[in-house]
Amino acid sequence: METRLHTKVTPDWHRWIGEALAAGHPPAELLATMKENRFDERAARDAIADAVFGSAVPVASPAATTAAAFTSRLAEGHVLHAGDRDIRVLVRVSRPTIALLDNVLDADECFMLRELARTRLARSQVVNPGTGVGVVQDIRTSEGANFGRGETELIARIDARAAAVMGMDGEHGEGLQAMRYGVGAEYVPHFDFFPPDDPGSEPHLRHGGQRVSTLIMYLDDVEAGGETIFPRIDFSYVPRRGQALYFEYTAPDGSLDPLSLHGGAPVLAGEKWILTKWMRENAFAG
């Protein structure tokens, strides 16, 4: 008879995760060990992500302490008017604030963005929590390409459309980032905000303040795998070309929301291409 998987991570295992990470063992190695010990993969990923990125944390910037700052910036209704096109809202989730959007990009735009990104792909990085420097780690195994705001006519058009969808001035936006995930590539569950208690967050928070929202645009269908997952609310989205996921990170009490933990499941066949836009609470000049 098959043994049931462990869905609860005990304090002893949490302590082991922390000690293993401190000793320099990569998260992928920890995940493999926990799976060998009959842990449910989602529970193991969640526990490792907690240790790597932290959990619920207070809002970092005094500029984001008013009630207005915690009102969703996404417009109401089933259709969002985004300048050059109307975008349909297919699904809404109240906490964390999530919306599945259709008709964000057309097929030609998706193709051109993929081809433009191919010319500058490099291994994706994550922020070192101690130094703030971008580093390559096994928790993120994609390739990425960064674009300056408005650097081409196409990029300028997508920048403006994304800002309209996200309900913020374009000056608050970071540059677009394209990412390609080949077979086996993934991004373990993580937060998009900068944990205020991490010393490495300080240089990022100096330029534009905290991140407040994300728009992930999907540049192609994925043959198998590659779902965008929110493990703490058991939400999973299968990428579809031209669609997008929008989400915010603020809980009703004003704290940065631990339910916004999300990740990219491993690609099992084909490729996964996404284009991401992050918004800051203040104008971003970085």
Q: Do residue 154 and residue 245 come from a single domain?
A: yes
* Count of structural domains, the chain: 2
pLDDT, one tens digit per residue, over 17-59 is 887 877 777 777 888 888 889 888 878 887 887 777 654 343 3
Task: Indicate if 74 and 29 belong to the same structural domain.
Answer: no
86 and 228 belong to one structural domain: yes
Over the stretch 92-125, which tens digit does the pLDDT of each residue have?
A: 999 999 999 999 999 999 999 999 999 988 766 5
Q: 99 and 45 in one domain?
A: no
Phi, psi (deg, nearest 5) at residue 220: -165, 160
Residues 68 and 35 placed together within one structural domain of the fold: no
The verdict on residue 234 lying in a domain is yes
- Locate the DSSP E strands across the chain: 79-81, 86-93, 98-102, 122-123, 126-127, 134-135, 143-146, 177-181, 187-190, 211-218, 224-225, 228-230, 235-237, 244-248, 262-264, 267-269, 272-280
Omega cis (within 30) before 11: no
Same domain membership, residue 185 and residue 114:
yes
Residues 48, 64 within the same domain: no
In a domain, 102, yes or no: yes
Residue 285 lies in a domain: no
Do residue 274 and residue 210 come from a single domain? yes
- Kindly state whether residue 41 falls inside one of the protein's structural domains: yes
Considering the domain architecture, whether residues 124 and 196 belong to the same structural domain is answered as yes
pTM of the model: 0.76
Same-domain status, 119 and 18: no
260: domain CATH number? Answer: 2.60.120.620
